Structure 1
Amino acid sequence: MKKIGFLSFGHWSGAPYSATRSASDVLLQSIDLAIAAEELGADGAYFRVHHFARQLASPFPLLAAVGARTKRIEIGTGVIDMRYENPFYMAEDAGAADLISRGRLQLGISRGSPEQVIEGWRHFGYAPAEGESDADMGRRHGEVLLDLLRGEGFAQPNPRPMFPNPPGLLRLEPHSEGLRRRIWWGSASNATALWAAQKGMNLQSSTLKADEGGEAFHVQQARQIRLYRQAWKEAGHDWEPRVSVSRSIFALMNDQDRDYFGRGDDSDQTGVIDNMRAVFGRSYAAEPERLIEQLRLDEAIAEADTILLTVPNQLGVDNNAHVLESILNHVAPALGWR
C-alpha cells in the first residue's frame, strides 16, 4: 500500500492554453483540486513554493484554506525554501495551519532550488553567517524550526505582561502537538538524505538528484532511500519515517490525453544545476497496461511509501482531476498501491 497525492507547482500565465491566467486563478483552483482529489480518494495535496516567479509562493494561507475545506486529505509542501524563512514566524504559521486542518499538515522544507533572482533571500532580510554558504543557512533555519516545533519554552516572560502568563519560560503559540514528526526534508543528494535522517525528518526525494553514480535516476534514488533508512535506524529514533518520491505519470485514456502527454520524453536527462551535475527523472506516459509494466521497474517507487504525482495545473481542475482519477483507478490497484 502507498499513499498517493498530487504536487502542484502552481504556474499561471496569460497564454491562450492556460486555465490559470492569474495568481487568483491558481490559488482558488488549488483549493478546488484538493477537494476533488479528496473526493477521488487521493491521500495528499502538496504545493511547491517558488519566490519571484508566477507560481505559488506563500504557502500557509493556501494550506489553511485547503485544510478548512477538506476533512481527510493530507496537505503539504514540496518544498519550502528555508533560505527565505524566519523559522519563528514559520513555526506560528505552521502551527495554525495544522490546527485548522486538525493535524493533517505534512510540511516539506529544504535548502531550496535555483531561484529567479540573484540571492533572492537577501531581499527577505537573510544572509549567511561568516563562513556559511546559503545552503548552510537554509539548513540552519531548518534546525531552528525543528527545535521550535518541540513546543518547549525558551523565552523569558515579562514580569508585567498585558495578559497573565503560564508559569515558566514561554513557547511560540499556537503549538500543534505532533507536527514535529510531520516535517520532511527535500533532498537532492545522498549526503543531505543522511543529514535529514540524523535530524529526524521524513524524506522527500524529487524528480532530480545529484548524479552520484552514473546509473539510471530511479536506481540512484532507490540507493539514496536505502541509505536514508539505514541512517535513520542508526540514529535511534523511536518512530518510523516516511519517504516520498515525485513522478510525472500520465495514463493515456483517450485522444485528449495522447495529445497532451503522449509525445513526452521517456528517458532520463542530465544537466548542471547550481554547479552540480544532476540527473532528472523521466516522465511516464502510456496506456494503463504499458504504464503498469514500466512502473513495476522503478526501484525508487518500490522503496517509497508515498508517491506525489506532479500535475499540469495550467490545464485546469477538471483535467487534473482526470489525471489523478486515471492513476488511482486504472494503474494503482494493479501495482498493489491500493
Structure 2
Amino acid sequence: MKKIGFLSFGHWANHPSYSTRTAGDTLLQSIDLAVAAEELGLDGAYFRVHHFAAQLASPFPLLSAIGAKTSKIEIGTGVIDMRYENPLYMVEDAGAADLISGGRLQLGISRGSPEQVIDGWRYFGYEPAAGETDAEMGRTKAMEFLDKLNGKGFARPNPNPMFPNPPGLLRLEPHSEGLRERIWWGAASNATAVWAAENAMHLQSSTLKFDENGKPFHIQQAEQIRLYKEAWKKAGHDREARVSVSRSIFAIMNDQDRAYFGQQGGGADKFGYIEPEKRAVFGRGYAAEPDKLIAQLAEDEAIQEADTILLTIPNTLGVEYNVHILESILKHVAPGLGWK
C-alpha cells in the first residue's frame, strides 16, 4: 500500500500552448487541481518552490487556499529552500496554513537546489556566518525552524504589554500541534538522509541525487532510503518514518498522450553536474501503455522502499489534462502494482 500524490513545479509563460499564461493562472489552477485530485481519491498535492523564476515561490498562501477548499488530501511542498527563509516567520505561516487545513500539511524543506541567480538568498538579506557554507546555513535555519515548531516558550514578555500575556516565556503563534511531526527533508546525498533521520524528519528523495557509486539511479536511491531507515531506527524515534520518491510517470491511453509523451518512454538515467565538482545522477522518466508501465515500475527498487509516490505533472497543460494523467495512473497502473 502506498500513498499517491502529485508534484507540480507551477510553471507559467505567455506561450500559445500553455494553459498557464500568468502567475494567477498557475495559482488558481493549482487550487482547482488539488480539489479535483481529492475527488479522484489522490492522497497528496505537493508543490515545488523556486525563487526568481516564473514558477511557484511563496507556498503558504497557496497551501492555505487549498486547505480551505479541501478536507482530506495531504498538502505539501517539495521543497522549501531554507536558505531563503526566516525560520520564526515561517513557523507562524506554517502554523496558520496547517490550522486552516485541519492538520494536513506535510512540509518538505531542504538546503536548496541550483538557483536562477547567483546566491539568491543574499538578495533576501541572508549571509552565512563566518566559516559557514550556504548549505550549512540552510541546515542551521532548518534546525531553528524545527525547534520553534515544538511550541515551547522562548521570548521574554514585555512587562507592559498591549494585551495580557500568559505566564512564562512566550512562543510563536498560531501554534499547530503535531506539525513538527510532519516535516520532511529533501536529501540529495546519503549523509543528509541519515542526518534527516537523526533529527526526526521524514525523507523526500526526488529524481536526482549526488552520484555516490556510479550505480543506476533507482538503486542508489534505494540504498539512500535503507540508510535513512536504519538511522531512524537507531535514533529510537517513537513514530513511524515516511519516505517519498518522485517520478515522471505517464500512461499512454490515447493519441494525445502519445503525442505528448510517446518519445519519453525509452529514456535512461543521466549523469551530470548540478554543482561544480558534484556529479549527480538523474532518474529516467516512464511513459508507456499501462501493462508495460506496471512491469517497468515493479523493477524500480526505490519505489519499492518508499511509502509515498509523488507524480510530477506538466501543470502547463491545464487542469483537465492533468486530471486525466492522474486518473490514468490511479485506475490502470496503481492496482497492478498494489499501490492502492
Instruction: Establish whether TM, by shorter chain, passes 0.5.
Output: yes
Q: Which amino acid aligns with 1:283?
A: G
Residue ranges of structure 2 left out of the alignment (5+ in a row): none
2:268 is matched with 267
Runs of 4+ in 1 over 6 A off after TM superposition: none
The counterpart of 1:302, out of the listed 293, 301, 304, is 304
Deviation of 1:29 after TM superposition, in Å, equals: 0.2
Deviations 1:88-134 (A, max 9, x none): 00000000000000000000000010110111000001000001000
1:316 is matched with 318
1:210 matched to 2:190: no
Deviations 1:263-309 (A, max 9, x none): 11521111101121000000000000000000000000000000000
Deviations 1:29-70 (A, max 9, x none): 000000010000000000000000000000000000000000
1:146 matched to 2:153: no
Query: Using the alignment, how far apart are the partners of 2:172 and 2:160 within structure 1?
Result: 19
Secondary structure of 2:316's partner? helix
1:128 is matched with 128
Query: Using the alignment, how far apart are the partners of 1:173 and 1:256 within structure 2?
Result: 49
Secondary structure of 1:95's partner? helix
Query: Using the alignment, how far apart are the partners of 1:140 and 1:268 within structure 2?
Result: 33
Query: Using the alignment, how far apart are the partners of 2:227 and 2:267 within structure 1?
Result: 27
1:82 matched to 2:74: no
Secondary structure of 2:83's partner? helix
1:114 is matched with 114
1:155 is matched with 155
Query: Using the alignment, how far apart are the partners of 1:132 and 1:326 within structure 2?
Result: 47
Residue ranges of structure 1 left out of the alignment (5+ in a row): none
Q: Which amino acid aligns with 2:269?
A: D
1:286 is matched with 288
Q: Which amino acid aligns with 1:313?
A: N
Query: Using the alignment, how far apart are the partners of 1:114 and 1:83 within structure 2?
Result: 12
Q: 1:180-199 residue pairs with structure 2 within 5 A?
A: 180-199=180-199
Q: Which amino acid aligns with 1:66?
A: I
Secondary structure of 2:45's partner? strand
Query: Using the alignment, how far apart are the partners of 1:274 and 1:90 within structure 2?
Result: 27
Q: Which amino acid aligns with 1:228?
A: Y
Deviation of 1:311 after TM superposition, in Å, equals: 0.2
Query: Using the alignment, how far apart are the partners of 1:118 and 1:295 within structure 2?
Result: 37
Query: Using the alignment, how far apart are the partners of 2:314 and 2:58 within structure 1?
Result: 20
Query: Using the alignment, how far apart are the partners of 1:277 and 1:5 within structure 2?
Result: 29
Query: Using the alignment, how far apart are the partners of 1:145 and 1:35 within structure 2?
Result: 29
Deviation of 1:236 after TM superposition, in Å, equals: 1.2
Deviations 1:226-246 (A, max 9, x none): 000000111111111100000
Query: Using the alignment, how far apart are the partners of 1:18 and 1:52 within structure 2?
Result: 20
2:252 is matched with 252
Number of equivalences: 338
Q: Which amino acid aligns with 1:267?
A: A
- Using the size of structure 2 for normalisation, the TM-score is 0.99
1:68 is matched with 68
Determine what percentage of the aligned residue pairs are the same residue.
75
Query: Using the alignment, how far apart are the partners of 1:281 and 1:14 within structure 2?
Result: 29
Query: Using the alignment, how far apart are the partners of 1:296 and 1:335 within structure 2?
Result: 7
2:101 is matched with 101
2:20 is matched with 20
1:53 is matched with 53
2:38 is matched with 38
